Amino acid sequence: MRIKILVRLKGQILEPQGKVIEQSLNSLGFTEFSNIRHGKLIELDLPDNISKEEKAQKIDSACKKLLVNDIIEEYEVLG
């Protein structure tokens, strides 16, 4: 199964890339776009036969050990 993990900077942390993207979009005429935040998506495969609990446990452990720095980032498993 394909797993998608969305990693983003926590809300209170300044995210300068999003600000620059927002300025560019606004100058291209997308003036309705605001509060843009830029994050990252990590995709990976896990075997289909693993249980839901094991899947959740493995993803959580991988995020805590390497994929996410919980001082500055938060994550969400999509789908």
Partner 1 sequence: MSFKSAVITFPGSNCDRDALCYLKDLTKGEVHNIWHEETSLPKVDLVILPGGFSFGDYLRSGAMASKSKIIDEVVKHANDNRYLLGICNGFQILTEIGLLEGALIRNKKLKFLGKNCFIKKKFKNNFNLSIKDNQILQIPVAHNEGNFYCDTETLNLLKNNEQIAFEYCKGEFSNTEENINGSIEAIAGITNKKKNVLGMMPHPERAYSDFHQSQDGRLIIESLIS
Which residues sit at the interface with partner 1, rule CB under 8 A? Answer: 9, 13-14, 16-17, 20, 65-67, 69, 71-72
The enclosing H or E element of 41 equals strand 40-45
Q: How far is the CB of 49 from partner 1 (least distance, A)?
A: 28
Neighbours of 65 (CB within 10 A): 8
The enclosing H or E element of 58 equals helix 52-62
Nearer CB in complex with partner 1: 28/71: 71
Nearer CB in complex with partner 1: 50/64: 64
Nearer CB in complex with partner 1: 44/50: 44
Q: Are 69 and 55 in contact (CB under 8 A)?
A: no
